[in-house]
Structure 1
Amino acid sequence: MIVVTGATGALNGATVEQLLNRIPAEQIGVSVRDVASAQHFADRGVRVRQGSYEDPAALRHSFEGAEQVLLVSSSDPHADAVSLHRNGIEAAVEAGARRILYTSHQGAGAESPFRPARDHAATEELLAGSGVAWTSLRNGFYAHSLGWLLGPWQQTGTITAPADGPVSWTDRADAATAAAVILAGDRTFEGPVTLTASHAVTFADIAAMASGISGHEVKRIVVDDEEWIAGKVAAGTPEAMARMTLTTFRAAREGRFAGVDPLLAELLQREPRTVADRIAAGI
C-alpha cells in the first residue's frame, strides 16, 4: 500500500488523483486531519484515516500496512517544521514502511537565506538517518507563487520587486504527477532527486514574456530591498511576512533556484509547463 499525507491539500491531493489513474484504489491510503474532507477519496475506494504530524499515535495508525509513505512538508510558517517532519518519519518507520518519500524543495541547504530550504535540508538529514530507504522530491519553486510575487503587473504594466535571479519555476501539477509516477513505478530513486521545469528565468525574462503575450509593454523595475519591504507593509502585509518573502529574492540572487534537471520531463514524457504557459493562463 502507498499512504499519502496531506491528501486534501493541492499538491498531494493531485498526487492521489494521479495515483488513482495508475494503480487500484485499494492500494492507496491517505492520512488527513479531517476524514470528512477526504470523503471523495473514500467514495472511490481509497483507505482514509485520520492523522497529523502533531499526533504520532494517529499517524502510526494511518500508516499501518504501508510499503511506501509520502510525507508532505509542513506549510505552517509558525510551526517547528523539522520536529513535525521527524514525527512523520518516526511514525512511518514504526509502521514498517519500506520507503519514505518527502516533498522537499530545490535549493535545500543549511546555509540558504530561505528558511524552508534549511528546514528541508534538516529533514533530509533525518531521512538519511532513519534506517529506511528514502527519496526526497526536490521540486522546483512552484510557479503559482508568481501570482503574488510579480504584483499587479496586468494593471500597472510593471513588475516591481527586489533584485532577483534565475528560477526554474515549476508547475505544481507537474510535480504531483511526477510523484505519482515515482510512487507507482518500478524505477527506484535513492536520496534527493530534482524535479524542475526545463528553463530558469528572471523577472526581466518574465516581463519580456508578458509583453509578448499581452501585446502591451511590461517593464521590470528593481527596487531596494528595504524600499520594497516598506511598500509591502504600507499596503497591509505584516512586516514578518514581507521579510520572509524577501528571502526568496535573496536566495534567487545566490543562484539557489537556478538549476534545471531533465528528470521531470522524462517522468512526464513531455515538456513541463512553462512560465509562459502560466502567463497565458492568467497565472
Structure 2
Amino acid sequence: MIIVTGATGKLGRRTVERLLERVPADRVGVSVRDPRKARELADRGVRVRQGSFDDPASLAHAFEGAEKLLLVSLDRTGEECVTGHRAAIDAAVTAGAGRILYTSQMGAAHDSRFQACRDHARTEDMLRATGLPWTALRNGFYASSALQFLESARHTGDIALPADGPVTWTGHDDLAEATAAILLGDARFEGATPPLTASAALDFGDVAEIATRATGRPFTRTVVPDGTFREQVLAHGTPAPIADLLLSIFAAARNGEFTAVDPTLAELIGRQPATFRTQLERAWAE
C-alpha cells in the first residue's frame, strides 16, 4: 500500500489524484489530521486514517502496511518542524515502511539562508540515519509562493518587493504527477533526487515582463529595502517570525540557492513543465 500524508493539502491531494488514475483505490491510504476533510476519498475506496505529527501513536497506526510512504513536509519551521518530521520518520520505522519519500526542496542545505531549507537538510539527515530506503524529492520552489507575493501587484501593477535572484518557480500539478510516477516505481531514486524544476529561472523583473505580456497591462518592478519590507508586512499584522522567514526567501534567492534548472521533472512527466506565465494566467483567471 502507498500511504500519503497531508492528503488534503495542495501537493498531497494532487498526488493522491494522480495515483488513483493509475492504481485501484484500495492500494492507496492517506494519513490526515481531520478525516472528515478526506471523506470524499474514503467514499472512493481510499483507506483514510487519522494521523497527527503531534501524536506519534496515531501516525504508526496511519502508516500500517505502508510499502511506500510519502511524507509531505510540514508547514512549520525550525525545531517545531524537525520534531514533527522526526515523529513521522520514527512512526514509519515502527510501522515497517518499505521506503520513505519526503518532499524536500531544491535548496536544502544546512547553510541555507532560508530556514525551511535548513529544516529539509536536517530531515534528510534523519532519513539517512534510519537505514531504510529513502528518497528526498528536491522540489523546485512552489510557484504558488510567487503568486502570493504578486497579490498586491495584481491590483497596483507594481511588484514592490526586496531584491531577489532567479528562482525556478515550479507548479504543484507537475510535481504531483512526478511524485506519483516515482511512488509507482516508474523511476527509482536513492537519496536526494536531482532538482525537480520548471524549465526557467526567473527573478521578479522577469516576472514583471511576463505579467505585462500575459495581461496587456504594464507591470513595473520596484526594489524595496529589506527593512522597509519588514515594516510593511508587520504593519499588516504579520507576526515578526513570519516576516523574517519571508525576508530569508529573498536573501536565499540573492545567494543563488534556487537557480538550478534541471530536465528530470520534464523526463518524469513526459512533457515540459508548465511555464510561469501559464500558472499566472490560470491563477489570475479565477
User: Shorter-chain TM-score: which interval?
Assistant: over 0.9
Q: How far off is 1:86 after superposition?
A: 0.9
**Is it true that 1:280 corresponds to 2:261 in the alignment?**
no
Residues 139, 196 of structure 1: 8 Å contact kept: yes
| Secondary structure of 2:74's aligned partner | coil
Match of 2:98 in 1: 98
- Bigger shift: 71-80 or 260-269? 71-80
Q: How does 1:146-165 map to 2 (within 5 A)?
A: 146-165=146-165
What residue is the counterpart of 1:188 in the other structure?
188
Is 1:233 the counterpart of 2:228? The answer is no
1:151 shift after superposition: 4.3
Match of 1:200 in 2: 201
Structure 1 pair 130/43, CA: closer, same or farther in 2 (3 Å)? same
> Retained in 2: the 8 A contact 1:8–1:38?
yes
1:254 positional shift: 0.4
On the 8 A contact 1:196/1:264 being kept in 2, the answer is yes
Find the aligned partners of 1:256 and 1:50 in 2 and give their Cα distance: 36
Partner residue in 1 for 2:143? 143
- Farther-moved stretch of structure 1 (110-119 vs 53-62): 53-62
Q: How far 1:172 moved relative to its partner?
A: 1.0
Gaps of 5+ in 2: none
2:119 match: secondary structure:
helix
In the alignment, the residues of structure 2 paired with residue 214 and residue 29 of structure 1 have an alpha-carbon distance, to the nearest angstrom, of 41
Q: CA deviation at 1:79?
A: 6.2
Letter in 2 for 1:232: V
- Output the amino acid matched with 1:74: L
8 Å Cα contact 2:77-2:119 kept in structure 1:
no
Further displaced range: 147-156 or 90-99? 147-156
Residue 259 of structure 2 corresponds to 258
Larger deviation, residues 117-126 vs 5-14: 5-14
> After the TM superposition, which segments of 4 or more aligned residues of structure 1 sit over 3 Å from their partners?
none
Partner Cα separation in structure 1 for residue 60 and residue 71 of structure 2:
13
TM-score, with structure 2 as normaliser: 0.95
Corresponding position of 2:3: 3
Between 1:161-170 and 1:227-236, the stretch displaced more is 227-236
Deviation at 1:77, TM superposition (A): 4.3
Q: Distance in 2 between matches of 1:261 and 1:215?
A: 31
Write out per-residue CA displacement over residues 207-252 of structure 1, whole angstroms, 9 at most, x where no aligned residue.
1111112222211111211111122223333333222100000000
TM-score by length of 1: 0.96
After superposition, give the CA deviation of every residue in 1:189-218 in whole Å (9 maximum; x if it has no partner). Answer: 111112110110010001111111222221
Counterpart residue number, 1:176: 176
Distance 2:139 2:265 in 1: 9
> Identity over aligned residues, as a percent?
52
Partner in structure 1 of residue 222 of structure 2: 221
| Counterpart AA for 2:14 | A
Deviates more, 1:217-226 or 1:125-134: 217-226
Q: What residue identity is the alignment partner of 1:246?
A: L
Write the distance in 1 (CA, Å) between the matches of 2:74 and 2:233.
Answer: 25
**Displacement, 1:6?**
1.1
Please state whether the residue corresponding to 2:227 is helix, strand or coil: helix
Measured in 2, the distance between the counterparts of 1:41 and 1:152 equals 35
Q: Residue 126 of structure 1 corresponds to which residue in structure 2?
A: 126
8 Å contact kept, 2:181–2:187: no
**Hey, what's the Cα distance between the residues in 2 that align with 1:168 and 1:186?**
24
Deviation track 1:227-283 (CA, whole Å, cap 9, x = no partner) reads 111222233333332221000000000010110111111111111111111222245
The equivalent residue for 1:26 is 26
In structure 1, runs of 5+ residues without a counterpart are none
- Measure the CA separation in 2 of the matches of 1:186 and 1:210: 36
- CA-to-aligned-CA distance 1:67-112 (integer Å, 9 cap, x gap): 1111111103476111111111111111111110001111001111
* Residue equivalent to 2:86: 86
Q: Indicate the residue corresponding to 2:35 in structure 1.
A: 35
| SS of alignment partner, residue 52 of structure 2 | coil
